[in-house]
Structures are given as C-alpha cells and as structure tokens.
Amino acid sequence: MHYRYPTTLKPYIKKGVELGLLSPHLLEFDLAVLGEALKAERDQQFTYLGLQTLYDRYFIHSEGIRFELPQVFFMRVAMGLASNENNREQRAIEFYNLISSFDYMVSTPQLFNSGTLRPQLSSCFLTTIPDDLHGIYSAIRDNAMLSKWAGGLGNDWTPVRALGAHIKGTNGKSQGVVPFLKVVNDTAVAVNQGGKRKGAVCSYLETWHLDIEEFLELRKNTGDDRRRAHDMNTANWIPDLFMKRVFDDLDWTLFSPNNVPDLHEKHGLEFETAYIDYERKAMSGEIEVYKTVKAADLWRKMISMLFETGHPWITFKDACNVRSPQQHVGTIHSSNLCTEITLNTSKDEIAVCNLGSVNLVNHVDENGLNQEKLKETVTTAVRMLDNVIDINYYSVPQAENSNLKHRPIGMGVMGFQDALYKQRISYASEQAVEFADTSMEVVSYFAITASTELAEERGCYESYKNSLWDQGILPIDSLQKLNEARGKGYLEVNMDQRLDWAYLRDRIQRSGMRNSNVLAIAPTATIANISGVSQSIEPTYQNLYVKSNLSGEFTVVNPYLVQDLKKIDLWDSVMVNDLKYYEGSVQNIDRVPAEIKQIYATAFEVEPRWLVDAASRRQKWIDQAQSLNLYVAGASGKKLDVTYRMAWLRGLKTTYYLRALAATTTEKSTVSDNSLNKVSTVPEVAAVPMACSIDDPDCEACQ
C-alpha cells in the first residue's frame, strides 16, 4: 500500500468526478503531491469496528462497489475543506494529517459530504416556530428540507399559543402546540436524512407555557395517540425563576404566549421582572387564560416523566443566555437535538452549527496533557471548522444568513475516559474532576486564540460589535454574570483558572474574533467508533459487550482493562466468562484487585455527582454547552431530584439522556436476565428512540 497509495489518488478522483459523486474542483489540486503525502501505515490504526463502519456507511461507492480507500477517503475530506485556501495543497496535507492520525475528527456530515457536489457539512440546525399557521407549516417544511440533507434539528415551540387560547381571525379557540408536534414527529419519520439515517428532531417548550403539562406526557404509551409523539425527542427549556420557586416551594403560573408575548424574548432579571408583572395582571383579571400550580409539583412531574419515558430532557434557559457571547443579538430559545448547541434563532435566522472533536487520549503522554501538541491540533481544527462555513451547502436561506453573519463553530472533545485510563485515574475521583477542568481550559484557551488569530487574517464575524467578546468578557468571566443574575447563593461553581487569560482578553480587544461561538461538546457516537476511542465525555458503558449496528455484531472489549489484567496474569478464558456473566463489570470478580475495580468502574457504577462535577468544571470554559448523559443506578424520585437540582446549582446549561436503573433491576439474577441493559426505566416502557447515545452506535445526528 505504501507504493500503491500515491498512484491511487488521481484515478480515484477522476472516476468520482466522472460518476458525478465528487466535485470537479478536486481535479484542480496537484494530485501527485497529495498522493505522495498519503500515509499507508495509518491503515493499521483502525479497530475492526471502525474500519467496517467506514466501509459500510462512509466510503464512496458506485453500484455497490466501494472504490474509496481509507487514506484516500481522509484526503478527499481534507481537500474539500481546503478548497478555498490560497495554498490549498499545503493546507489539504495539514488537514489530512490531523484527521488520519485520529488526533482530531470532523463530524459525520463533513465525512459524508466534503469534496462532493453537495457539501452539506453542518451537523445541527435550530429553528423558532412562529405563532401562525403559515409560519408553522413553513417551519415543518424547513425541517423536512434540513433533514433531507442530514441535519439534526432543534425546534423552539414556545411562541405557539396554548390550548384554549383565543384565535382572532376565526374567533375560535386554539388546539395548542401538541397536535402540531404530532405532525413534526411524523415528518421526521417520513423524511430520512439523505437516505443515510433517520430524521431526528427535538422540540423545546418553556416551563411557563400553558401546554407544558401535556407536553411532558408526549412520550407516554397510554392516552390518546393523536396527542402523542413516540419518535420525537422533547426538552424542557427552564428559566432560573422556576428553579428558585422549586427550591423555595412557591407557586408557578402558566400562560399562553399570545398573552405574554415578550417573555419568550427575555431572560435573566429582565424575564423575572416581566413574569412577576404578568402574574400580577393575571391575579387582577387582566389576563384571562392562565393557570397556577405548585412549582415543586410541576418539577416532580418533569422528573417522573423523565424517569418513565426518558423525556423531556432538562435544559436551563438562563445559564445558556446569561453566559452567551451573542446576547446582544437576541435570546437563545432552545438547544439542538443533542443539547450541546446554544445559538440564537428568529424568523430570519435558522442557527447552524459545525462540529468536530479533539481526541484527548492522543494528547496525553507520560507527563500528562501535552499542551504543545494540543495547541497545534486545535489551531488547525478551528481553521477547518471556519472553512466549513464558506464551503457549506445551505438548503434553506435563513440558515445561510445566520451562519455567515455569526460564523459559530463547535469544537469538542472525545476519548475523555481513555485519557483517564492512560493516566490511571478513576472517573469517580477528584483527580478526574481536576483533569476535566484543566484539559477543557487548555482546549478553550487555544480554540479562542485560534479564532482571534483567524480574525487577524480573515476579519471579524459580522455581528461581533457589542458581543461579550467585544466587551472583554470571556466564558470564564460570564460565570460572574450568571451569579449576579441568580443571586442568593444559587450558583456553586469552582472559578479556578491557570492560564494567562488577561493576555488573551487584550488580544481579542485588539483583533476581535472570527467566530461568535467556538466550543461545544457533542456526543461523537460514530466518529469515536471510527477513531477507536471512548465517546465524548462518557464513562465506559461496559468493559465487554456485543455492539450490534448496521455493520453487524462486534464484540467490544476495553483494551486498557485487558492490558492491566495481562500484567498480573489474570486475563484468561475464565475472566472472559466472568465479564460476560457480570455484563462487563469487574466489581463482583473477587480476584480483581481493588485499584483495577476503581479505575474500571462502568457508567452505572460511578455516582452521578462525579459526572455533574466534571461537567461543571468543563462548562466554565465553554461558550456553548455539552451533551451530558446522566447514569443513575438505584434510581428513585429523590435521587433524580437531587441530581438535577445539583446540575442547575453547578451552572450546567443542559443535560441530555437520563440512563436510570431502578433499584430492582441493578441485581444480577440469571445469565440471560440482561437486566443491566434495561436503560429505559421503571415502570418498563417502550425503547427510547436514540439521538446520539451510547446504545445507538448508528446515529450520527450530531457527530
């Protein structure tokens, strides 16, 4: 292959163009130079699962014949991303070296579509639905178009009037949000993503909306099926005032948005003032359609529905808004399908995010985090992500308008658990929380630096003026704004910092920023498989399991555990059988030493507080959010209540899936029982449709 690769690239590109699968502009590159740059030995890095995944779903094919080889594939992606560069061969080789070494991996849409005739390279789209019939169906049509070209969707439904609200035009009463959500659900099923994967959408509703109680029940298996949405994800968009009322055991008022039109556009203290004023008007009879409930009762229902159906997810409006660099251009109304994107939307703007992830384990050596290597990786990665914005194919004009105006990107991390293994750190430890903090600080520092360097080279993004960046307020500084907005000790966050942020602040004041947003941690379900590392910031699910996906069934074993057991002569067929019996857990195997049990604790064996604490330390450095799955063994209403209150107090912006094992299912009784795989919850419910989650390795909705 060392000799074959250099001669393969040119005929491959020619054939791809001839078949109408690749863009003719790839022929303008010096293909001989690029062919010589291919590194055949990197084919040896793949796991079997990783290579099979690429072969089945990524390599370009004609009439069932794959004619793309791994290194040629990475070069094709790199060429697509370098096509607008002045020194494009040099940049293509730089990009190729980064992704083919697995130091960094671009998201699935970029792997699918870079260098093709229709380069739809974006992962996520966020829309706001207006309160009129024409606008609602236009938004559903936009969902279909975005889904067709493989985008994951987040819809903000808060502006749509509630059930029973007056409709002026017909002098009738509204049917509320829920019937439209049924249509959204069915559209996502009908329009699959580019023929490659199912459509995936998440609908958001703010907690003061009069339809919130029915919204919470959308995923239930009982009740009128016309008011259920079994294939769609849902999320609560929760203002801080609601959480304060929960803590203080006070009442909460539900409104129809047509009676309180400005609440949707307000956040923080402004929202609180307006909301309390509307409550006063409701009590004095100026607003007719409203309802008063106990905040704690509604919170309890949120938690119990999450426990029972896996939805709606818990996300926090004010943490997203008060810390947003872009609050001068409006309010953030929702997150995306995987809860890591926090960007502005309006009737003229569909927010778009372009993603990629640094592979942390490749930047850890015997001395810990290799900051020099990380700086090089992040600098090149930010450049690639910025290029995506200009090369991108936009299927709706509002998405192009938004992306070119604000130029947001979302660089994240993966391989966090592997990086801990490499340093022999247990996930459930202060050391792991510290590593989450220090590693994210370094990634954040270099990513923001790279964006300000690009601003020096290419100019600032259009809406930079009056942003938090422009005011000298970095993500770490915006925590103080959140603290002030909440007041009364409702924020418990570590504020330590180690790098020279004062220098970076000064540099941004001089040069500006190329991108409105720079950081977001996505789930990385598939790109982590391709790279052969642990997904995103997830703890290990099981140390030994069979992964079934479109490519077949694969036995996946934790290589770090195998190495450690081999060193002490414990890796044998008996150990393999024990691991099978205990479903990938070492905790009940007596001969395994305590230290190894600690390091190789699986997701349900790590107390959720460690996940929340590590996420809190990361969140202080991130201008967007992170996809945070929570694993709760021995789940009860009280335990979930405490976990989610803690998530809010620790300043998290969003949470993602709840993986709950009820106390009755955590005991292993028989070999075939499979109880530890029951991640739905008690009472048992239909399987939750996955977005990007650990037990759906086929999803690339975000990455």
Residue whose pair of structure tokens reads 């991303």 in the numeric block: 81
Structure tokens at 298: 């509604």
364 strand-pairing partners = 369
Type of residue found at 563: Q
**Confidence check: pLDDT of 486 > 90:** yes
Contact 53, 554 (CB under 8 A): no
Decide which of 379 and 393 is more confident: 379
Tens-digit pLDDT profile for residues 402-453: 999 999 999 999 999 999 999 999 999 999 999 999 999 999 999 999 999 9
Structure tokens at 497: 């910092």
**Confidence check: pLDDT of 114 > 80:** yes
Q: For 606, which DSSP code?
A: S
Stretch among 304-308, 313-317, 331-335, 659-663 having the lowest mean pLDDT:
659-663
CA-to-CA separations, 435 to 5, 368, 475, 532, in angstroms, rounded = 40, 9, 18, 21
Tens-digit pLDDT profile for residues 163-222: 877 777 777 787 888 889 999 888 887 876 555 555 588 999 999 999 999 999 988 888
Examine the residue annotation and report whether 272 is marked as an active-site residue of this protein.
no
pLDDT at 678 (0 to 100): 33
Task: Examine residue 312 and say whether the peptide bond preceding it is cis (omega within 30 degrees of 0).
Answer: yes
Can you tell me the distance from the alpha carbon of 515 to that of 330, in angstroms, rounded to the nearest whole number? 17
Three-state DSSP at 80 gives: helix
Q: What average pLDDT score do residues 593-608 get? A: 96
CA-to-CA separations, 596 to 119, 418, 491, in angstroms, rounded = 46, 14, 35
Q: For 626, which DSSP code?
A: B
**Confidence check: pLDDT of 104 > 70:** yes
Residues in CB range of 468: below 8 A, 6 or more apart: 324, 325, 326, 327, 474, 477, 478
Structure tokens at 108: 């699935």
Q: What average pLDDT score do residues 537-557 get? A: 83
Q: What average pLDDT score do residues 596-605 get? A: 96
Residues in CB range of 512: below 8 A, 6 or more apart: 452, 455, 459, 460, 461, 464, 469, 470
**Confidence check: pLDDT of 127 > 50:** yes
**Confidence check: pLDDT of 235 > 60:** yes
pLDDT at 195 (0 to 100): 52
**Confidence check: pLDDT of 548 > 90:** no
Q: If you average pLDDT over each of 140-154, 218-232, 375-389, 521-535, which comes out highest?
A: 375-389
Can you tell me the distance from the alpha carbon of 477 to that of 468, in angstroms, rounded to the nearest whole number? 9
Tens-digit pLDDT profile for residues 552-579: 787 888 999 999 999 999 999 999 999 9
pLDDT at 559 (0 to 100): 93
**Confidence check: pLDDT of 327 > 50:** yes
Catalytic residue among 340, 349, 441, 700: 340
% of residues, the chain, pLDDT over 70? 92
Q: How confident is the model at residue 148 (pLDDT cuts 50, 70, 90)?
A: confident
Can you tell me the distance from the alpha carbon of 161 to that of 180, in angstroms, rounded to the nearest whole number? 11
Domain boundaries, the chain: 124-329
φ/ψ of 596, rounded to 5, equals -70, -35
Catalytic residue among 155, 259, 336, 515: 336
SS3 content of the chain, % helix, strand, coil (to 5): 45, 15, 40
Q: For 463, which DSSP code?
A: T
Report the side by side order of strands in the sheet with 201-206. Answer: 313-316, 233-238, 201-206, 152-156, 124-128, 351-353
- 124-329 — its CATH code? 3.20.70.20
Tens-digit pLDDT profile for residues 294-316: 999 999 999 999 998 889 999 99
Structure tokens at 445: 């520092």
Q: How confident is the model at residue 671 (pLDDT cuts 50, 70, 90)?
A: very low
% of residues, the chain, pLDDT over 90? 74
Q: For 497, which DSSP code?
A: -
Catalytic residue among 124, 338, 460, 699: 338
Q: How confident is the model at residue 650 (pLDDT cuts 50, 70, 90)?
A: very high
Decide which of 697 and 239 is more confident: 239
**Confidence check: pLDDT of 688 > 50:** no
Examine the residue annotation and report whether 338 is marked as an active-site residue of this protein.
yes
Can you tell me the distance from the alpha carbon of 277 to that of 294, in angstroms, rounded to the nearest whole number? 18
Q: What average pLDDT score do residues 453-471 get? A: 96
Q: For 521, which DSSP code?
A: B
CA-to-CA separations, 628 to 130, 293, 361, in angstroms, rounded = 29, 29, 19
Q: For 440, which DSSP code?
A: H
Structure tokens at 168: 């002026």
Q: What is the pTM of this model?
A: 0.92
**Confidence check: pLDDT of 24 > 70:** yes
Contact 488, 309 (CB under 8 A): no
**Confidence check: pLDDT of 687 > 50:** no
Examine the residue annotation and report whether 340 is marked as an active-site residue of this protein.
yes
**Confidence check: pLDDT of 64 > 90:** no
φ/ψ of 106, rounded to 5, equals -75, 165
Q: What average pLDDT score do residues 1-29 get? A: 94
Residue whose pair of structure tokens reads 């801990």 in the numeric block: 420
Stretch among 115-124, 167-176, 240-249, 412-421 having the lowest mean pLDDT:
167-176
Stretch among 555-569, 670-684, 689-703 having the lowest mean pLDDT:
670-684
Can you tell me the distance from the alpha carbon of 624 to that of 271, in angstroms, rounded to the nearest whole number? 21
**Confidence check: pLDDT of 513 > 60:** yes
**Confidence check: pLDDT of 699 > 70:** no
